[in-house]
A and B are shown apart, each in its own frame.
Chain A
Amino acid sequence: MARLLDRLEELTKRAMAKGADQAEAFGQTSQSREVWLEANKIKTVKSTPSKGIGLRVIKKNAMGFASANSLQEADLDELCDKALALASVNLKDKFLIIPEPEPLTALKGLYDPRLEELPLKETIAMAGRLLKTARGFDRRVTVDSGGVFVSTSENAVYNSNGLSASERGTDISALIMGMARDKGEVSPFDIQFDGSPRLSQIKIEPLAKSFAKNVIGSLGARPAHSFSGTVLFSPYAVAETLLGTIISSINSNSVQKGMSKLAGKTGTRIASSKLTLEDDALLKGGLATSSFDREGLPRRKLAIIKKGKLTTYLYNSYTANREKRKSTGHASGSYRSLPGIGPTNLIITPGQATKSELIRDIKEGILVTRFSGNANAITGDFSGTVKGGFYIKNGRICYPITNTMIAGNVYDAIMNIRGISNTLTKVFSNRLPYVSIAGVSVTSG
């Protein structure tokens, strides 16, 4: 598929010919086939090709960006003109930069030919199995929506410094969401997801079963009472409460623009020594695994928090240039926007205890399967409702709870980690454990 890269090269050269000092083109093409479930039935099949180019130009220290979902020759001029027109009115910024190329190592395992050739009938059959397994587990289970989605894609970058990179990949994912209904009672919603670059790694039945188990298990819930205690967060709840705030505050752009509480904290203790957090863009089988980032720079494995100490922020080439350092390869985004900054596959290093041992260790607390709420990335405050929660007393799970909220502060919470489970669960692209945290406020009743 040299064509995409050829178009990007042509676009970059045209932007330079029209007066850009530096230019970068990022292109994406993809073909996806999606089988959707709705209201306990297979609803529809969707087949969508997509493609697009985003052009970033720098002229006289000002930047402009334009994108279009077209690779047509005729549209390239319009892209150049629009990006250059925006650069001509934009504020100047001497740190703007288009990166120099760096050597890339091609990764294996991103592309599975079996997925590209997968007959639609098989994808439909997988969606059918997802539905049947969940419904067959217990007739009170109801599947609101979900599906099985297969896609093949190519990403490519070309820039005026001679950087040129392209990569093909495949992925398959399965999603199931819904609730349990028993007479008049409706349980909280549960969502389960599995995804992988390879067909052989997707697990339909276990996914459907853990969904069904969760929604049935949360029937018959009642309120607990209000107290401050230890909360055991499931891997999904860890993502929903803690991860967003951490991701936002380790973004070097937030740090540089005075919007991160972790500014000036590298090299210092910000969490319990039990916590080690890595971003592994090269993770085998990771959904966000790739050999280069949105700017075409090499991806890597990077420790962010090491035994409680903050080791680094995440950089793209612009924020790195402001500090006269190198990008960490975390430029993110699609062809539709400028390179931002974001993590890839986040992994919390497993701890020593099993999940049951973590529960046994709790005098009074709750297990939070899912968290639905807000986390304020700047203050670190989080507050929200517990979904699929259980009351824990003297080391034992007592009963499912409803009408319960938890509140706390992420920066305090990661200091107060009591235990981390010794197994990890796939949560979208991340690998996360159960984490128990002391001193969280529980409001219920």
Chain B
Amino acid sequence: MISYFSEILSQIPADYAELRYHDRRVNALAIRKGEPETAQSNHLSGVGIRLLDAGRWGFSSTAGRERADVLRAAQEAATVARAMSRSKKTLAKTKLARGEFCPPFKDHLENHSIEEKLEIVKKAEAKARRFKNITSAASAYVEYFDKKVILTSDGAAALITDIKPEFRIMVVAKDGTNMVRAFEAIGATGGWDDLWRYGKWEELVERAVKRAERLLKAEHPKGEKMTVILNPEIVGLIAHEAIGHTVEADFVLSGAITKGKIGQRVASELVTLVDSGPSTHIPGAGGTLLVDDEGVLTESTVVIKNGILKSYLHNRESAAEFGVKPTGNARAFEYSDEPIIRMRNTYIEPGKMSLNELLESTDRALLLEGALGGQADANAEFMFGVQEATLIEKGKKKKTFSGVSISGNAFDVLKSVDAISKEFRWALGSGYCGKFQRARVDAGGGYVRCQAIIGGRHG
């Protein structure tokens, strides 16, 4: 396949040309309250062509992989590029990927039949509804099988296989007119064993049900600035949403708050924040990417080291502009998307103390668990929802709150970090990040204690 596309690429005249063949098969199964919600199989296949011609970018794509269609797309990319004004854009040179790439996995998803997967989705949803107070539930299993060829006119030639399964369960609990929901979701890169590495489906269902039962009795907290303990999911959300986006080099160039801050203290010295292509610490992270969509070999990019801002996240164009090495962050979700700067697996390095020690040394704090959606801003102001907040007093769990969101300036929050636990976990593997196109990402860390604003109610 590499030689077939290489020959086509050699026919495309431009200062720089990039050809990306992407074949994707997605299977999805979902059940809601005992009835089938979906059973579907999608196939998406095509070639995206991107050209740089006298500093002008052009992009086009075609479904399928026929030679004539690919050349026609290249012609269209050249035509649209020429409609713009010339510029001095260049790409940073780096070691480009050559050969075959496949993340490690033991038990291939294809060893498990569609019947077996459907049975799990069915049983999970049914199990949830057998609990008292659980009035409805929904469960789903989704799997992505990707095959890619990435070729660039300056030497990248990679054949990439990637597999990403995910599973989720959502439950609704009701008590009189009071109605709450809770969910658990897991996603991985790799095989069947990677998907269930943090617990089998039965455990995920039980966790969601127990949380819903606690939320039924929960109160709304009072809004205030206070000490919080973030679980790995929420730590992942901060690392990704609130810090990660502000260090994407395209965002930095537009004037994000991190502009000109390399080498400066931006966080407590306990904080080391990394965005990694490979899955560090524990295999199977959902955002795992071995080669990016510009053919750059990915790495573990240390963004903040012991509180000092060290690096932005780059593609080849921004790396050239900043005079640094590309970090392998150019990603495209589908063949018809052009690669843009995206995160991969973003996390805060675990600390030395145990979670127990961290809790015991806490006078009064809210333990925040279960990530809901979140957003960040150019000035690092962030906000996101959490499923559940538990009041900790003198190391003991006292009370559950619901309807909680957390906000603050991410860098202020990171400066206030005074403890990080050693229990590292990938926690957002079923997450998608949206930036004009989607990307599968993961994020995580240990438990982190810091100060933040809790959104709540007044009288």
Residues of A near any B CB (own CB < 8 A): 33, 38-51, 62-70, 72, 75, 78, 82-83, 85-87, 89-91, 93, 120-121, 124, 142-145, 178-179, 181, 185-189, 226-228, 253, 257-259, 261, 336-338, 372-374, 376, 378-379, 381, 383-385, 387, 402-403, 405-408, 441-443, 445
- With both chains docked as a complex, state the minimum distance between the C-beta of A57 and any C-beta of chain B, in angstroms: 10
User: What 3 A-B pairs come out closest when comparing CB atoms?
Assistant: A443-B223, A374-B385, A258-B136
Give CA–CA (A376, B178) in the complex, Å.
13
Per DSSP, chain A at the interface is: strand
CB of B10 within 8 Å of the partner chain: no
Residues of B near A46 (CB, < 8 A) are 58-60, 80, 338
CB of B64 within 8 Å of the partner chain: yes
Residues of B near A86 (CB, < 8 A) are 39-41, 114
A sample of 14 more A-B contacts (CB under 8 A), given A91-B118, A121-B83, is A44-B59, A47-B76, A67-B40, A69-B46, A91-B35, A185-B379, A189-B377, A226-B224, A257-B136, A259-B32, A403-B409, A441-B457, A441-B458, A443-B453
A384 near B383: Cβ-Cβ < 8 Å: yes
Q: Contacts A258-B136, A373-B405, A441-B456 known; A188 to B381 CB distance under 8 Å?
A: yes
Residues of B near A65 (CB, < 8 A) are 38-41
CB of B180 within 8 Å of the partner chain: yes
A51 near B381: Cβ-Cβ < 8 Å: no
Give CA–CA (A43, B341) in the complex, Å.
13
Give CA–CA (A223, B79) in the complex, Å.
51
Residues of A near B231 (CB, < 8 A) are none
CB of B425 within 8 Å of the partner chain: no
The proximity string for B residues 41-74 relative to A, scoring 1 for CB distances below 8 Å and 0 otherwise, is 1111110000000000111111110000000000
CB of B250 within 8 Å of the partner chain: yes
Give CA–CA (A39, B341) in the complex, Å.
13
- With both chains docked as a complex, state the minimum distance between the C-beta of B133 and any C-beta of chain A, in angstroms: 12
CB of B2 within 8 Å of the partner chain: no
Which single member of B38, B181, B220, B455 contacts A406 (CB below 8 Å)?
B455
Give CA–CA (A93, B364) in the complex, Å.
52
- With both chains docked as a complex, state the minimum distance between the C-beta of B114 and any C-beta of chain A, in angstroms: 6
A381 near B403: Cβ-Cβ < 8 Å: yes
Q: Contacts A66-B41, A376-B181 known; A178 to B254 CB distance under 8 Å?
A: yes
CB of B257 within 8 Å of the partner chain: yes
Interface residues of B in 183-224 (CB under 8 A from A): 220, 223-224
Most buried by A among B42, B45, B135, B338: B42
CB of B14 within 8 Å of the partner chain: no
Q: Contacts A39-B250, A44-B57, A45-B59 known; A372 to B80 CB distance under 8 Å?
A: no
- With both chains docked as a complex, state the minimum distance between the C-beta of B247 and any C-beta of chain A, in angstroms: 14
A63 near B381: Cβ-Cβ < 8 Å: no
Give CA–CA (A91, B36) in the complex, Å.
6
A443 near B250: Cβ-Cβ < 8 Å: no
CB of B238 within 8 Å of the partner chain: no
B64 near A384: Cβ-Cβ < 8 Å: no
Question: In the complex, which residue of chain B has the Cβ closest to the Cβ of A43?
Answer: B57
A181 near B255: Cβ-Cβ < 8 Å: yes
Give CA–CA (A378, B458) in the complex, Å.
22
The proximity string for B residues 402-437 relative to A, scoring 1 for CB distances below 8 Å and 0 otherwise, is 111101110000000000000000000000000010
Interface residues of B in 110-167 (CB under 8 A from A): 114-115, 118, 122, 135-136, 138
Residues of A near B59 (CB, < 8 A) are 44-48
Give CA–CA (A64, B454) in the complex, Å.
45
Interface residues of B in 345-374 (CB under 8 A from A): 372-373
A407 near B223: Cβ-Cβ < 8 Å: yes
B405 near A383: Cβ-Cβ < 8 Å: yes
CB of B253 within 8 Å of the partner chain: yes
B377 near A387: Cβ-Cβ < 8 Å: yes
Question: In the complex, which residue of chain B has the Cβ closest to the Cβ of A147?
Answer: B436
Give CA–CA (A402, B409) in the complex, Å.
10
A405 near B405: Cβ-Cβ < 8 Å: yes
CB of B336 within 8 Å of the partner chain: yes
Q: Contacts A179-B379, A374-B385, A407-B223 known; A142 to B254 CB distance under 8 Å?
A: yes
B336 near A50: Cβ-Cβ < 8 Å: yes
Q: Contacts A40-B254, A46-B80, A372-B383 known; A179 to B378 CB distance under 8 Å?
A: yes
Residues of A near B228 (CB, < 8 A) are none
Question: In the complex, which residue of chain B has the Cβ closest to the Cβ of A256?
Answer: B33
- With both chains docked as a complex, state the minimum distance between the C-beta of B138 and any C-beta of chain A, in angstroms: 7
Residues of A near B455 (CB, < 8 A) are 373, 383-385, 405-407, 443
Residues of B near A66 (CB, < 8 A) are 40-43
Residues of B near A408 (CB, < 8 A) are 457
A67 near B43: Cβ-Cβ < 8 Å: yes
Residues of B near A44 (CB, < 8 A) are 57-59, 338
Residues of B near any A CB (own CB < 8 A): 31-33, 35-36, 38-46, 57-64, 76-77, 79-81, 83-85, 87, 114-115, 118, 122, 135-136, 138, 172, 174, 179-181, 220, 223-225, 250-251, 253-257, 336, 338, 372-373, 375, 377-379, 381-385, 402-405, 407-409, 436, 453-459
Which single member of A49, A143, A145, A228 contacts B459 (CB below 8 Å)?
A228
Question: In the complex, which residue of chain A has the Cβ closest to the Cβ of B136?
Answer: A258
Which single member of B35, B36, B63, B456 contacts A443 (CB below 8 Å)?
B456
Residues of A near B373 (CB, < 8 A) are 374
Give CA–CA (A338, B36) in the complex, Å.
12
Give CA–CA (A361, B402) in the complex, Å.
32
Residues of B near A85 (CB, < 8 A) are 114
B39 near A90: Cβ-Cβ < 8 Å: yes
Which single member of B58, B64, B172 contacts A258 (CB below 8 Å)?
B172
Give CA–CA (A379, B212) in the complex, Å.
12
Give CA–CA (A403, B459) in the complex, Å.
20
Residues of A near B42 (CB, < 8 A) are 66-68, 336
Residues of B near A143 (CB, < 8 A) are 254
Residues of B near A50 (CB, < 8 A) are 63, 336
Which single member of A62, A372, A403 contacts B375 (CB below 8 Å)?
A372
Residues of A near B135 (CB, < 8 A) are 258
B83 near A124: Cβ-Cβ < 8 Å: yes
- With both chains docked as a complex, state the minimum distance between the C-beta of B25 and any C-beta of chain A, in angstroms: 10
Which single member of A47, A49, A186, A407 contacts B405 (CB below 8 Å)?
A407
Give CA–CA (A50, B43) in the complex, Å.
14
Most buried by B among A66, A83, A89, A407: A407
B379 near A89: Cβ-Cβ < 8 Å: no
Question: In the complex, which residue of chain B has the Cβ closest to the Cβ of A142?
Answer: B255
Question: In the complex, which residue of chain B has the Cβ closest to the Cβ of A257?
Answer: B33
- With both chains docked as a complex, state the minimum distance between the C-beta of A181 and any C-beta of chain B, in angstroms: 5
- With both chains docked as a complex, state the minimum distance between the C-beta of B435 and any C-beta of chain A, in angstroms: 9
B250 near A405: Cβ-Cβ < 8 Å: no
Give CA–CA (A145, B340) in the complex, Å.
12
- With both chains docked as a complex, state the minimum distance between the C-beta of B394 and any C-beta of chain A, in angstroms: 26
Residues of B near A179 (CB, < 8 A) are 254-255, 377-379
Give CA–CA (A253, B138) in the complex, Å.
12
A38 near B378: Cβ-Cβ < 8 Å: no
B377 near A384: Cβ-Cβ < 8 Å: no
Which single member of A45, A338, A441 contacts B57 (CB below 8 Å)?
A45
Question: In the complex, which residue of chain B has the Cβ closest to the Cβ of A95?
Answer: B35
Residues of A near B115 (CB, < 8 A) are 89
- With both chains docked as a complex, state the minimum distance between the C-beta of B80 and any C-beta of chain A, in angstroms: 4
Residues of A near B81 (CB, < 8 A) are 45
Residues of A near B76 (CB, < 8 A) are 47
A-B contact pairs, 10 of them (CB 8 A): A39-B250, A62-B36, A70-B63, A144-B254, A181-B255, A185-B379, A188-B378, A373-B405, A379-B180, A405-B455
Q: Contacts A70-B64, A89-B39, A257-B32 known; A42 to B84 CB distance under 8 Å?
A: yes
Residues of B near A336 (CB, < 8 A) are 42
